[in-house]
């Protein structure tokens, strides 16, 4: 039966660890110039309704590096712009391609595509979740720290799609996640409540960034206004002012804390230039790992475990 990745909850803990290990292996093969063309003749269809640099290019590069091909469409290029039902799109595309990666607004839309597609559907970001990003983040943390054991992650900023995927990751893997989010910009209460009930005491919500950052192993942030929220950017700038990862906040974390950001970053807003470019920041390794985890994910969804 085909598998989808719409949220991290589509994976078991064992599958997450498999993907992390496989991505590490593929990264070594890639560095050694020894990647096998395991996706030879496979085709990934991509429907991106929102812009993207990392997600698009890492998926495309992953397919090409493993011997496959991609067909990329924006909303404009496809009949979605003329209201072709997603259920029809899904069934038609399934006749042409081996998997579909989607970036869009409504999470319901990827669910609808997945329901009707007979090939795997991968969520490349919706308003609610960004699961592929967190897989690359976990890979980066494991690589830098050696393990995900006894991990404490602090999320500073908006309770957004990336935060929701971190919440799911904490519920599945059982690490400690402290979210510092301003009133009115908290994570979705159903997503948070479900996760908190699964791992009591592990997922904490505060309005105090210093409290969340205290002794954290990872400080994580994201833009204050996500794609589609451009008109709220000025209002959000005021609300989020105290929720910046800067030298002072970093000083309250563990001395060897890692700083992660999914990128793109707005320097001087959610993170200072000094911290983003500083020695504790691993944002470019994190961005690189999007490629490796995407290779592992595509290989697993299209060909099974190696």
- Catalytically active residues are 103, 130, 133, 222, 262, 290
Measured from the CB atom, the residue of 94 and 109 that comes closer to ligand CP is 109
Give the whole-angstrom CA distance, residue 23 versus residue 208: 35
104 binds ligand NVA (CB under 6 A): no
223 binds ligand NVA (CB under 6 A): yes
Which position among 5, 46, 55, 157 is part of the footprint of ligand CP (CB under 6 A)?
55
Measured from the CB atom, the residue of 127 and 299 that comes closer to ligand NVA is 127
Which residue's Cβ lies closest to ligand NVA?
Answer: 226
Q: Cβ(199)–Cβ(171) under 8 Å?
A: yes
Quote the least distance from Cβ 290 to ligand NVA, whole Å.
10
Three-state DSSP string of 185-238 = CCCCHHHHHHHHHHCCCCEEEECCHHHHHCCCCEEEECCCCCCCCHHHHHHHHH
Nearest to 182 by CA among 155, 143, 214: 155
Q: How many residues bind ligand NVA, per CB under 6 A?
A: 9
Range in contact with ligand CP (rule: CB under 6 A) among 26-34, 52-60, 105-113, 241-249: 52-60
Range in contact with ligand NVA (rule: CB under 6 A) among 74-82, 114-122, 181-189, 222-230: 222-230
Distances (CA, A) of 160 to 65, 185, 252: 32, 8, 24
Question: Which residues, at least 6 apart from 280, have a Cβ–Cβ distance to it below 8 Å?
Answer: 250, 256, 257, 258, 259
Q: Where does this chain bind ligand CP (CB under 6 A)?
A: 52-55, 125, 133, 262-263
Q: Where does this chain bind ligand NVA (CB under 6 A)?
A: 125, 160-162, 222-223, 226-227, 262
């Amino acid at each position: 039966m085909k598998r989808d990745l719409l949220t991290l909850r589509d994976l078991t803990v064992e599958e997450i660890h498999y993907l992390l290990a496989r991505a590490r292996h593929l990264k070594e093969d890639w560095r050694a110039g020894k990647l096998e063309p395991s996706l030879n003749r496979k085709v990934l269809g991509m429907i991106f309704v929102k812009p993207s640099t990392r997600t698009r290019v890492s998926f495309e590069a992953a397919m090409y590096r493993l011997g496959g091909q991609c067909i990329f469409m924006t909303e404009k290029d496809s009949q979605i712009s003329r209201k072709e039902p997603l259920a029809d799109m899904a069934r038609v595309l399934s006749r042409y391609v081996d998997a579909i990666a989607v970036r869009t607004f409504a999470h319901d839309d990827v669910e609808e595509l997945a329901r009707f597609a007979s090939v795997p559907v991968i969520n490349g970001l919706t308003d609610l979740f960004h699961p592929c990003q967190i897989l690359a983040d976990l890979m980066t943390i494991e690589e830098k720290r050696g393990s995900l054991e006894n991990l404490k992650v602090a999320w500073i900023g908006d309770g957004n799609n990336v935060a929701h995927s971190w919440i799911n990751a904490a519920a599945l893997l059982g690490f400690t996640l402290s979210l510092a989010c301003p009133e009115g910009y908290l994570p979705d209460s159903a997503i948070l409540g479900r996760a908190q009930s699964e791992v009591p005491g592990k997922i904490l919500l505060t309005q105090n960034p210093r409290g969340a950052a205290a002794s954290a192993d990872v400080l994580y942030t994201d833009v204050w206004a996500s794609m589609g929220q451009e008109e709220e950017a000025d209002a959000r700038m005021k609300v989020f002012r105290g929720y910046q990862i800067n030298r002072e906040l970093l000083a309250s974390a563990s001395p060897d804390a890692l700083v992660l950001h999914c990128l793109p970053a707005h320097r001087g807003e959610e993170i200072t230039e000094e911290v983003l470019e500083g020695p504790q920041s691993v944002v470019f390794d994190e961005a690189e790992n999007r490629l490796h985890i995407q290779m592992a994910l595509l290989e697993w969804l299209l060909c099974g475990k190696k």
